[in-house]
Amino acid sequence: MVFSSIVFLYIFLPIMLLIYFIVPSKFKNAVMITASLLFFAWGEIRYIFIMLVLAVMDYVCGKKITKYWDNKKKKRIFLWIDIGVNLAILFFFKYADFIISNINTITGLQIPLLHIPLPIGVSFNTFQSLSYIIDVYRGTVKYEKSFYNYLTYTTLFPQIIAGPIVRYETVDEELETKNISLDNFSKGMKRFLRGLGKKVLIANNVGALWNVIETGGYSEMSTLLAWTGMVAFALQIYFDFSGYSDMAIGLANIFGMNFDENFNFPYISKSITEFWRRWHITLGSWFRDYIYIPLGGNRKGFLRQIRNILVVWFLTGAWHGASWNFILWGLYFGVILILEKMILLKVLQKLGPVIQHLYAIFLILISWVIFAFEDLGKIKDYFLALFAGGNTPLVNSEGLYYLTSYAGIILIGIFFSLPIFSKLFSKLENSNKKIAAFATTGFYIGILLLSTASLVSDAFNPFLYFRF
């Protein structure tokens, strides 16, 4: 994986970008399609065929919906054909073994599991396809007349693996005419390097601590070490996922395109409602627009609203993985959001911002325990360690050792998870642009050099969200 990452970052990507900028505008999409297919072939070549077949189906169904625009029955048939096939592919690859194992548990049968590898980015790809066909059906976007352009959209390698979820309406004009400029290239490179630094320098290093704690014995863990582990995991998953999103958004800028933002300093939130407006923004907006609002949203009474929230959060949990812990994780947030709508937000408004922030961070850290372990027994054991249950010591030498050993990277992670650095830099830029430009250049060169050294030294870990 280390070698593959270095080859991609320092050989494949520069060559692809060079070709992309050299060729005439009418061939740029061809370069992107070729690069995307090579990228996916690198991971698992046999799934390219599925991606191409689904792209053809989306394109044909979109065209047929437009052709039969005045025939509601035929329009609906092509809509559900496309939705049905996309969801069938997703369910087969992602949930087949989960369903079989639960059937075996309930009935006592011994149906053999399929053990089918999950295609890279299948969840993100499916949601993009569904957003396109639903928007065409609703008439909010026109169907893409060029299969060439649509294939570019559905295979966009910068973000199809781990987001952000890019809707067709966001990039439809840019599929035809891209805003390629030196300013966009500069902005994109800076964003890409920020994402690379987040992943390689922070997520990987703080993740090393979580890896030690995760694989340890929870029954012997101190409460101090348990909370240190949860802080480490919270930082790892944030910098891992937001780092990838930054890299994808940066590459899009370089290509002359714009993707939606996916994170907005979620750990500064003062409620869970605010947290989900800042965390994985494109997923939240997708479920809002394609599930919550069509179910009725908050328009049909509070009981219906509660049902709709629980449906959305059940699906949000299941989207993240075929395991009960993800479903519990989603419902956990769903229940808290319902309680906030009922009373908690009113109570929080009467409290100071410090209490509000502590409330949100506590509940977020608790959620990561549920998210981190697919084994429900491990979740129970970890909670006992967190709250000094059983014979758990509050503090021991092991907990103090790991806390002091990783205190530096934890503090760095906390610092960069807050908007402190961006505010300080904005003040510097307003006061002295020359010094700010010099500092910026040094900052990004430093990220590149340190990230390269880290990759070469075998410190790379796969992105956590690749498995979703």
Among residues 115, 280, 320, 357, the one annotated as catalytic is 320
Q: How many helices (H) and strands (E) does the chain have?
A: 22, 0
Contacting residues for 84 by C-beta, under 8 A, at least 6 apart: none
* Phi, psi dihedrals of residue 334, rounded to the nearest 5°: -60, -45
Which string of DSSP letters, residue by residue, matches 76-132?
HHHHHHHHHHHHHHHHHHHHHHHHHHHHHHHH---PPP--PPPPTTHHHHHHHHHHH
Q: How far apart are CA 389 and CA 226, in angstroms?
A: 12
* Percent of the chain as helix, strand, coil, to the nearest 5: 75, 0, 25
HSE at residue 49, side-chain half, CA atoms within 13 A, is: 2
- Show the tokens assigned to 251: 């590459």
Helix 324-339 with 353-372: angle, nearest 10 deg: 160
Q: How far apart are CA 443 and CA 436, in angstroms?
A: 10
Max alpha carbon distance in the chain (Å)? 73
Shortest CA distance to 85 belongs to which of 129, 29, 25, 36?
129
To the query of whether residue 115 is one of the catalytic residues in this protein, the response is no
Q: How far apart are CA 370 and CA 230, in angstroms?
A: 11
Which string of DSSP letters, residue by residue, matches 154-192?
HT-HHHHTT-----HHHHTTTTTS----HHHHHHHHHHH
Q: What is the CA radius of gyration of the chain?
A: 23
* Phi, psi dihedrals of residue 26, rounded to the nearest 5°: -70, -15
Q: Is the dihedral of CA 450, 453, 458, 464 positive or negative?
A: positive
What amino acid is encoded at 133 in this protein?
Answer: I
Q: How far apart are CA 319 and CA 87, in angstroms?
A: 11
Q: Cite the active site residues.
A: 320
